[in-house]
Amino acid sequence: MWVNNDRLVCDYYENKYNSERSAGMILRQLSRSVSVSISGKKPQMLMRGTEMYIENASTGDIEARSADDPNIVYMPALKVYGYGDPDTRLSNAGYRLNLYAVNVDTNKVDLVENGSFYTGQWVVDQHGHPVARVDVTSDQQTPPSKDTFLIKDGGNWREAGAHDNFSGSVANIDGITLDGTALAVDRYDDHGRVFLETLPLKAGEAPKVLFSDPQYDVRRVLHDEWTGRVTGVTYADDRLQDRYFDENLAHLQKILDGALPGQSVHIASKDATGTVYLVTADNPKNPPGVYLYTPAKGTLEYLMSAYPALQASDLSDMKPYPYKARDGLDIHAYLTLPTGRDPHKLPTVILPHGGPDDRDYIGFDWIAQFLASRGYAVLQPNFRGSTGYGIDFRNAGYGEWGRKMQDDVSDGVKKLIADGIADPKKICIFGGSFGGYVALAGATFTPDLYACAISYAGISDVPGILGKASKEGGSDSSLVHFWENRLGNRYKDVASQQAISPALHAENVRAPILLLHSNQDITVPVTQSEREQTALQAAGKQVDFVKIMGDDHYMSHSEARVSVLKQVEAFLATHIGH
């Protein structure tokens, strides 16, 4: 982000092995912020030289810029306190998430306010005044991860609501409203859809709905990049849509949508005065492009493309492909067909998304477009458990890993075959993360459907990943409770976990499998693919394992993406080539 006309603050992270812990080599993510100067002043690694820099794996969060000093930003960071600390306001030992003012030109760090031992989030205005905070409690007296909203009222903290973070009442503070009188909070409405409402800063005032859609969840909350105020939301029906509360931005969005019809258009950035705007836009046949819009002139200037070598003629259209699961549940899916080919008995790739708390939508998808360019039909199903369609649809996936969630994918495959689109002998399943699990589960538990399977960073051993979560986060951690919710009443049933673990049923596999995994993945450890490889080899199955060096779970480096695509292209050509 630009802090002023000279200083740009950039975030970066790296996954590193920490050999200083008694437990041995542990892979951890370190995230930092560095302030750089376009006039040539000395760069500053923010918070370096403080104990917070040493204690925090992340010092990369900025809550707000200062409206009073162009060099000041407000940053949260954990500080450790011990018994006997000279600060008599602190009664016991532990970590506190405090709020600091940091000078991006000199790296001077000043305490703004101490958090409690439970504080997990700060909301601060442009003058450095803490407006609200969220305290997260997790102990024997409190349900796991209970979020308590506190508002600064006349110098004192007032409780303004509490939510169990693992129930349908989940809510999140997204910032301060445009008029500064309330917080913007997203939560589930009475119909199970994520909507946005106000939490007034003045006690006794009633909340107001900022945005609600009867079918789809709020996906992202939009902020003014200079003031930090909440300006709108993004949601997805079949495409991503931006909706603004600010009348000027709403009018601007309407103009841009008209200028770039058929594309998902987003205001990406603007200068402090609103004189010029950077705009991004894409659709399946148009890779993300960047434009410069000048309202006073009414000009929209094309600047660059994320994929400058690609032309619309190289790309394929992507359309909705809805179907019903075997139990009658409506499944939203998207089908990308290769351009110029008869859509009949095509070699086909099933491409389930990761998460599973995510969803696919119509837009430029680099993997789907790559596969279509090689002549494959591509199906992307939003199986139960996907987000975006309300809490009931998401919760329908709880406890259904490898079961009804997998059936939803299989039912999409069967519809493609019944519709004559897919060649039943030339279908491969390819996914990453949870999608990688779906790919391995498909090859293992429905081996008649697939001629091959590709897993990038997929889970193969559910009891193993649960053990890792419990070991690293503790039995009462948010990571463990994530798994507890996703696996439902099967969470403590080891036999049930084993029943859905592909690595424990390798003898069922008939198709060749390609495993891809980064050696520095901290989300799904590379040992999950190693476990699958060992099991498949022991069962005498055909398996290739390619370790991607120096990247992470998300294929963040272009070299990793290119390497993965080359491996996938060769594997598909061998096993379902057209």
CA–CA distance, 338 with 285 (Å, rounded to integer): 12
Query: What residue segments make up the domains of the chain, in order of their start?
Result: 7-233, 246-310, 316-461+501-576
- How many helices (H) and strands (E) the chain has is answered by 11, 32
The pLDDT of 212-234, averaged and rounded, is 94
Select the more confidently predicted residue: 27 or 345: 345
- Structure confidence at residue 164 as a pLDDT band (50, 70, 90): low
The answer on pLDDT for 476 being more than 90 is: no
**DSSP for 189-237, written as a single string:** -TTS-EEEEEEESSTTPPP-EEE--SS--EEEEEE-TTT--EEEEEEES
The answer on pLDDT for 142 being more than 50 is: no
Task: Give the model's pLDDT for residue 145.
Answer: 65
546-576 pLDDT per residue, tens: 999 989 999 999 999 999 999 999 999 999 9
- Structure confidence at residue 146 as a pLDDT band (50, 70, 90): confident
The answer on pLDDT for 21 being more than 50 is: no
End-to-end CA distance of the chain: 47
| Percent of the chain residues topping a pLDDT of 70 | 90
Q: Is the peptide bond before 381 cis (omega within 30 degrees of 0)?
A: no
The pLDDT of 81-97, averaged and rounded, is 63
The pLDDT of 261-266, averaged and rounded, is 97
The pLDDT of 182-207, averaged and rounded, is 91
The answer on pLDDT for 19 being more than 70 is: no
Which distant-in-sequence residues (6+ apart) come within 8 Å of 260 by Cβ? Answer: 281, 291, 300
Q: What are phi and psi of 486, to 5 degrees?
A: -70, -30
Q: What is the mean pLDDT of the chain?
A: 91
Count Cβ atoms within 10 A of the Cβ of residue 6 and give its class: 0-12 exposed, 13-18 middle, 19 or more buried: middle
The pLDDT of 22-40, averaged and rounded, is 84
Task: Give the model's pLDDT for residue 491.
Answer: 58
The answer on pLDDT for 422 being more than 60 is: yes
245-258 pLDDT per residue, tens: 999 999 999 999 99
Task: Give the model's pLDDT for residue 85.
Answer: 53
Can you name the CATH fold of 7-233?
Neuraminidase (2.120.10)
How far lies 402's CA from each of 55, 377, 384, 387, 405, in Å? 39, 24, 12, 18, 6
Which distant-in-sequence residues (6+ apart) come within 8 Å of 270 by Cβ? Answer: 225, 226, 276, 277, 278
Task: Give the model's pLDDT for residue 170.
Answer: 65
The pLDDT of 54-79, averaged and rounded, is 93
Can you name the CATH fold of 316-461+501-576?
Rossmann fold (3.40.50)
Task: Give the model's pLDDT for residue 489.
Answer: 58
